[in-house]
């Protein structure tokens, strides 16, 4: 008992020290945005709901930025118009923190169990590290909705789909109705042969969109016919914060970016993603499917601001998971953990901003697109692990060749090998062999 209490005290002190270190780091490295995007939402919703204006006509004073999400997002956010500004900030930050904690814990729990880490300690350390992660701190300080969308998608892919719930697909559908880019996960369901979940997603998104259209016909008409196509509302494509393939191409020639080159890169990227995603699902590795699709979404979207890169978090956590699952002191473990550390460190560093004013030359091409290279590395190199099926098929652990995908996912019942022989546990209805 005394030993356990001593361990708890030591861990509490370590978490407090890490939290203090992260606070100091944020005080130096973090850029204050004053909840800029939240101010846009708040202003647009107030203008619409209380001042009698049209939501898509609103622009934040002195800027070209207005409300860019579909009408269903406006419906979901509508209560914000009746809150005091400070209360809106509290709600935004609280929801982001809660969503982040749930998603991170779901992905981290297998690592903690297998490695014998105290679970609260592992989560506390992970949340401290997440606070230093540039896309996360940008999401919080802009007042963005990225983690809430990731949460909705993760509920489908990490909980409902493995359990074969009839509700699988609802989260992806809602996320797509709120913001169009998560619609790539509907394509993911189609590519990997989960037709029922894909139909549920499409149906959910359609119903949500139609409800918003019925309630707000004028706003819906303006969004789908005008606001959606007004690219001036989202910002400059060549801006260094745009860490997508479109941003890479635009920075090569800001005045005349090649649409053909961008589309060719997108097509090639989607082919690789579809290939690897099918392999992941055929192997029963749904978490890697989530991570691969999050990475490809960041790559193929015309605009991927730095705060959108919270979608890379699952990939970084899975690198740690794969590394810790490898034999102790093995080259594979060192390589995977080093990759996770380097990727995380770069995504905390604001390195791309060193080329904000001048991204010409070889150093500008390599440095200003650093986060794009990380997304590509995750898409190409994130390991896919084979999970044993109930009839004994497959091999314990290990990486699956990308071309071995051959169908949908059977319901899996797996035994996970921990550091202690015979250690068993459940993970979201599935037991995996690492």
Spatial distance between the Cα atoms of 20 and 95, rounded to a whole number of angstroms: 23
CA distances from 239 to 122, 217, 354, 356, 360 (A): 36, 34, 12, 7, 13
Q: What is the pLDDT of residue 387?
A: 55
Q: Which residues of the chain have pLDDT under 50?
A: 388-434
Show the CA angle centred on residue 293, arms to residues 288 and 294, nearest 5°. Answer: 95
Facing residues of 399 across strands?
385
Do residues 379 and 295 make contact, with C-beta atoms less than 8 angstroms apart?
yes
Among 404, 411, 400, 416, smallest CA distance to 321 is for 416
Q: What is the pLDDT of residue 232?
A: 63
What is the rounded end-to-end Cα distance, in angstroms, of the chain?
32
> What contacts 361, CB < 8 A, 6 or more positions away?
none
Do residues 189 and 290 make contact, with C-beta atoms less than 8 angstroms apart?
no
CA distances from 414 to 175, 287, 391 (A): 30, 15, 11
The DSSP 8-state label assigned to residue 159 in this structure reads: I
Do residues 243 and 369 make contact, with C-beta atoms less than 8 angstroms apart?
yes
* H-only helix segments in 216-244: 217-225
CA neighbours closer than 13 Å in the CB half-sphere of residue 264:
5
Ordered DSSP codes for 349-396: TTGGGGGSS---HHHHHHHHTHHHHHHHHHHHH---B----TT--S-S
Strand (E) or helix (H) holding 398: none
CA distances from 411 to 13, 158, 160, 388, 431 (A): 42, 13, 12, 10, 11
Q: Indicate the Cα dihedral angle 386, 390, 393, 398, nearest 10°.
A: 20
Q: For residues 194-231, b (16+ Cβ closer than 10 Å) or e, as one string?
A: beebbebbbebbeebbeebbeebeebbebbeeebeeee
The token pair that represents 111 in the structure block: 């690592």
Dihedral pair phi/psi, residue 427, rounded to 5° = -130, 100
The token pair that represents 386 in the structure block: 């084979």
Q: What is the pLDDT of residue 6?
A: 83
* pLDDT tens-digit series, residues 372-387: 999 999 999 999 987 5
Do residues 392 and 429 make contact, with C-beta atoms less than 8 angstroms apart?
no
Spatial distance between the Cα atoms of 408 and 392, rounded to a whole number of angstroms: 17
Q: How many helices (H) and strands (E) does the chain have?
A: 18, 0
* pLDDT tens-digit series, residues 38-93: 999 999 999 999 999 999 999 999 888 899 999 999 999 999 999 999 999 999 99
Spatial distance between the Cα atoms of 434 and 432, rounded to a whole number of angstroms: 6
Spatial distance between the Cα atoms of 144 and 203, rounded to a whole number of angstroms: 26
Taking only Cα atoms into account, the Rg of the chain, rounded to an integer number of angstroms, comes to 22
Sign (positive or negative) of CA dihedral 287, 274, 193, 308:
positive
Q: What is the pLDDT of residue 236?
A: 86
């Amino acid at each position: 008992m005394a030993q356990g209490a001593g361990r708890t005290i030591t861990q509490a002190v370590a978490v407090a020290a890490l939290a203090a270190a992260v606070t100091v780091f944020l005080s130096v490295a973090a850029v204050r945005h004053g909840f800029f995007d939240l101010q846009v939402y708040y202003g647009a919703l107030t203008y619409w709901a209380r001042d009698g204006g049209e939501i898509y006509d609103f622009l934040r004073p002195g800027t070209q930025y207005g409300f860019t999400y579909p009408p269903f997002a406006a419906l979901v956010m509508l209560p914000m118009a009746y809150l005091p500004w400070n209360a809106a900030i509290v709600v935004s930050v609280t929801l982001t923190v809660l969503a982040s904690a749930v998603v991170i814990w779901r992905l981290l729990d297998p690592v903690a169990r297998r490695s014998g880490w105290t679970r609260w300690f592992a989560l506390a350390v992970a949340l401290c590290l997440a606070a230093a992660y540039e896309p996360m701190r940008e999401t919080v300080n802009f007042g963005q909705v990225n983690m809430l969308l990731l949460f909705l998608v993760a509920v489908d892919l990490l909980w409902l789909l493995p359990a074969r719930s009839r509700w699988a697909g609802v989260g992806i559908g809602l996320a797509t109705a709120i913001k169009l880019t998560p619609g790539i996960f509907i394509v993911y369901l189609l590519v990997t042969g989960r037709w029922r979940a894909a139909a549920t997603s499409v149906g959910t998104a359609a119903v949500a969109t139609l409800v918003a259209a019925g309630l707000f016909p004028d706003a819906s008409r303006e969004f789908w016919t005008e606001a959606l196509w007004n690219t001036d509302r989202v910002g400059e494509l060549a801006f260094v914060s745009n860490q997508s393939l479109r941003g890479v191409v635009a920075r090569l020639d800001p005045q005349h970016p090649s649409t053909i080159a961008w589309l060719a890169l997108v097509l090639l990227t989607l082919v690789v993603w579809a290939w690897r995603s099918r392999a992941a699902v055929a192997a029963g590795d749904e978490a890697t499917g989530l991570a691969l699709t999050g990475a490809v979404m960041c790559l193929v979207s015309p605009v991927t601001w730095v705060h959108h890169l919270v979608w890379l978090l699952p990939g970084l956590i899975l690198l740690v998971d794969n590394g810790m699952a490898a034999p102790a002191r093995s080259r594979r473990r060192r390589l995977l953990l080093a990759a996770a550390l380097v990727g995380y460190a770069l995504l905390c560093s604001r390195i791309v901003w060193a080329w904000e004013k001048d991204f010409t030359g070889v150093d500008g091409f390599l440095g200003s697109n650093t986060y794009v290279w990380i997304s590509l590395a995750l898409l190409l190199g994130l390991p896919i692990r084979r999970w044993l099926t109930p009839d004994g098929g497959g091999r314990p652990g290990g990486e699956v060749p990308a071309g071995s995908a051959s169908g949908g996912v059977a319901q899996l019942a797996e035994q996970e090998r921990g550091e202690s022989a015979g250690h068993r546990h459940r993970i979201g209805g599935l037991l995996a062999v690492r």
